[in-house]
Structure 1
Amino acid sequence: MKRAFSILILTLVSAVSHAQQGEAFMVVEAHSGKVISAANSVVKRPVASLTKIATGVIIVDWADATGADLSKVEATVPASVQAIGGPNPMALQPGDRISLRDALYAALLGSDNLAAMTVADHVGREMLRARGRTGDGVAAFVTEMNELGKAINLTKTRFASPHGLDLPKQNGFSTAADVAKLSVYAMRKPGFTFITRQKDRQVTVQGPAGPRSFNVKNTNELVGEPGILGVKTGTTNAAGPCVSVASDRDPLVRDKPDGEKAVTPRRLIVVVLNNPDRFNRARGLLRQGWDSYDRWVAAGAPIQDREKEILNVPNPR
C-alpha cells in the first residue's frame, strides 16, 4: 500500500511539474521546412497520444516494405492489454481478433490505447520473426519507434510505449519541434494521410460471440474543415491537451523563363502541447501561419540562418 501511495504521489508531482511548463507550439511549412513560429518548442515533456503518430508510421512503413495488406492481416489482442487500464471503447479482450487496418483506424482516429498495443504486438512479433528471433513484440516495436526517431533526427524524443500513456517505467517524452518533424514525415505517406483525414470509420472486431461493429470517430475536431488532413490528438494529466494538425492549400503555380510551370506545394504543420483550448489555438496559429508564410514567399523566401529557420526532416525509408 505504501509503495502504491508513493507511486501515486510521484505521478501527481510529475503532472504538476509538466503543467507548470505551460504551452509549447511550433508552426512549420512542411515542404520547405520553414519554421513560421514557435515557443518552448525544444522543451522535453510528455506528448500523450501524439506518440501514436510514430506507431502509425511504423505500421505503414512495415506494410510498404513487406507488401502486407493491412485490411487482410488479422492481429490477436494480446494479454498485455489488461495492464493498460483506462477507456476500452471497443470492449477489446485478449483473444479478440481485428484487422491491422481497423486497429490502426481505432488507434489513430479514436486514440484507442488497446488497439495501439494490439498492432504493436503483432507487427513487433513479425519483425522479430523476419530476423529469426523471438521475444516481446511490443518491446521490439518500441525499439523500432526509437530507431525511426534517430533516423529522422528526433533528438529530444524517447518513445516508451506505442500508446503514450504514462505508466510505471513507461514515461516517454518529446518536444513540439520533434512532434512537428514526426508529423511532417508521417504526412508524406499517402497511406497514413488517408487514415488521419477521415472523420469516422466503421471497424469490426471478431470475438467469441461473433463479429462486433463499431463506428470510430476522429478525436480531432478540426478534421472536416477546409484543407485539414489530420494529424492526431493526445491528452493525459501530465501532457495536458495536445494536438498536431496538417493543413494544405492549393500549390503555387508560376511561369518560368523557359516557359515551364513552377509548382510549389504548400502544407502547414501546427503542433500545440498543453493547451486546454488546443483546437481554437491551432486554428489561430494556422491563420497566422498562412499569413506569415505568404509574406515570406512574397519577399522571395529569404533564409538568414538555415539551422535556426529550417526544420530538416530526412526521408530515410
Structure 2
Amino acid sequence: MSLNVFAETVDVTASTTNVPTIYGQAAITVDVATGEIIYAKDVYKQMYPASTTKLITALLLAQNRVKTDKIKYTQSAKVQPADSLNVNFHPIGLNENMSSADVMDGLLLFSANDAAYMIADNIAGNSTNFMKMMNDKASKLKMTKTHFVTPNGLHDPEHYTTTYDMSILARVAFLNPWVKESMNKKQNTISTSKGTTFKIENSNKLLGVNGCIGGKTGYTSKAGRCLVAFYERNGREIMGVVMGSVMDANDTYVFNDMEKIINYSYDLQRTVLHANNSVVKTETLKYKPLKFFGPEKTVSVPLVVKEDVSYYKNDANQKDLKENINLSNITVSSLKGNESIGSLGLTQKGEIKTYKLYSAAPSGSLIKNSMPIYLMSAAIVIIFLVVITLIIRTKNLNKRKRRRRRY
C-alpha cells in the first residue's frame, strides 16, 4: 500500500534570523555525506562558473588517465590568454609533455588555462570533442541547468551553470581520490619533459584554515569571483559554492562569503517536521484478524515515528519538500506496534531519507474490533469438534452393534 502525501507548510521554532548576508549573487552549502542542502541563496540562478569549470576537466582527466600518463603541450593550449588569476605554463614548447599528475596540479592549484586545453586535446582530440564529453558528463550527473563550452571556464555566453548544479559536480569530483588529493595541496613543483620546472601555489586562500581541505577558485569579469570549498570539522564534511561575488583589491570578499555560509551551516540545527513518537497521519487500514483466512476488518490507525523527522530549512528544500508513505505487513501483531508497518520517505531535492512507521492503534480497540470474529471462529471450532465427536461416537457404537450380532 503506497500513499503520496505532500508536506504542508508548517510553523517551526528554528530561527532563520542568523542567515548570513553575503556579496555572492548565488550560493549553496551541502552535506557531503548525505547530499542535503543546508544553506541556499538563488541556487537555480544561471551563473557563469569561470575557473570552477576546471573541476569537470579534472574529473574527466582522472577518469580517463592515470597519474603517470604523459600529456603533450598543444597549439590550442599555447594560445590561451592569461590574467593575474588564470595563468599559463608558458614558456613551454609544442609537443613537450608533462605527467598527468603535474597537469592535474597545474589545473587545480595554479588554475592554468593552458593545462585545461592540454587535457582536452589529449583526451578527446580537440576541445570540440571535449566539450561534448563535458556536457555528456553533466547530463549523467543530472546537471539540468548547465552547458559547458570551454574546458577552462573562460567566458562564453553559452557556458553557464547554477550553484546547485556546480555542487553536484563538485561533490562527485571531491569523492574522486586523485582530484581530492590535488585540491588539498598547498603547493608543488612540477616539470616538463625538457626539465622546465614550475613552483606553483594553491589559489584557494582558505586551504588549511578552519578545516578547509580543498576547493577551486574562479574569476572572469563577467562571472565575478567564484569559489568552491570543502571543509571537515569533527568528522563531518560540508562543501560550499559561491558565485558572482565581488573582486576587490585584496581579493577577500568571496573568501569571507564562504567562511560565513560554512560557519552558519555547521551551526544550523535541523527543523523538526515530526517529533519522536508523534502521529504523522491517521489511516483507515484493512487487516485479517485470523491472518490467512476469514473476513477483513477495518480499523483507524495513527501512524507514528520513533525518531525525529527533520530537514534543513531553506528555500531550496522547502520548494521541493515531499513526504511519501508506504505501508505493508498489516497484521494484528504489527498493528499492536510490535513491528514496523511501513516507512515515511522525506524527499528534499532528490535526496530521500527514510523513517520507519509504527502503529499507535490502542490494543483495546483492536481486541474489541476483532472480538466478534474471534467469538464466531471459536463457536465454529466448538461446533466442529462436537460434530467430530458425535461422528466418532456413532462409529464406535455401530462397531459394537456389529460385534454383538456376530456373537
Please list every run of 5 or more consecutive structure 1 residues that lacks an aligned counterpart in the other structure: 1-20, 64-68, 126-136, 252-265
Query: How far apart, in 2, do the equivalents of 1:62 and 1:296 lie?
Result: 42
State the shift of 1:119 in Å. Answer: 1.4
d(CA) in 2 for partners of 1:113, 1:199 = 19
- Normalized per residue, which structure has more helix? 1
Q: Which of 22, 31, 34 is the matching residue for 2:33? A: 31
Partner of residue 185, structure 1: 172
Quote the Cα distance in structure 1 between the aligned partners of 2:309 and 2:61.
Answer: 36
Query: Aligned residue for 2:132?
Result: 143
Aligned-pair identity (%): 25
The AA in structure 1 aligned to 2:179 is F
The offset of 1:85, in angstroms, is: 1.8
The partner residue of 2:203 within 211, 219, 222 is: 219
Q: What is residue 242 of structure 2 aligned with on the other side? A: 272
1:269 is aligned with what amino acid?
Answer: M
Structure 2: unaligned runs, 5 residues or longer: 1-22, 247-252, 276-307, 312-316, 322-346, 352-407
Alignment of 1:94-133 (within 5 A): 94-125=94-125
Question: SS of 2:192's equivalent?
Answer: strand
Distance across 2 between alignment mates of 1:149 and 1:225: 31
Could you tell me which residue of structure 1 aligns to residue 58 of structure 2? Answer: 56
Q: Is the 8 A contact 1:231 1:245 kept in 2?
A: yes
Residue 111 of structure 1 aligns to a residue in which SS?
coil
Task: Give, in whole Å, the separation in 1 of the partners of 2:29 and 2:202.
Answer: 22
Counterpart residue number, 1:285: 261
Q: Distance in 1 between matches of 2:90 and 2:241?
A: 28
User: What is the CA-CA distance between 1:182 and the residue it aligns to?
Assistant: 0.8
Match for residue 152 of structure 2? 163
For the pair 1:83 / 2:85, whether they are aligned, the reply is no
- Deviation of 1:186 (Å): 1.0
CA offset digits 1:98-122 (Å, max 9, x no partner): 1111111101111101011101211
Q: CA deviation at 1:295?
A: 4.5
Give, in angstroms, the shift of residue 82 of structure 1: 3.7
Determine if the alignment matches structure 1 residue 228 to structure 2 residue 212.
yes
Give the distance between the partners of 1:199 and 1:311, measured in 2 at CA: 34
* Equivalent residue, structure 1, for 2:389: none
Distance apart, 1:173 and its partner CA:
0.3
The equivalent residue for 2:161 is: 174
Measure how far apart 1:281 and its partner are. Answer: 0.9
Which structure would you say has the larger Rg? 2
Q: Is the 8 A contact 1:110 1:219 kept in 2?
A: yes
8 A Cα contact 1:49 1:164, kept in partner: yes
- Per-residue Cα deviation, 1:218-237 (whole angstroms, up to 9, x for no partner): 11111112421211000001
Say how many residue pairs are matched: 256
Q: What is the rounded CA distance, in whole Å, between the counterparts of 1:116 and 1:203 in structure 2?
A: 16
Q: Alpha-carbon deviation of 1:23?
A: 1.2
2:43–2:162 CA contact under 8 A, matched in 1: yes
Partners of 1:181 and 1:311 within 8 A in 2: no
Contact 2:189–2:199 (Cα < 8 Å) also in 1:
yes
Is the aligned partner of 1:240 residue 2:240? no
TM-score norm. by structure 1 comes to 0.74
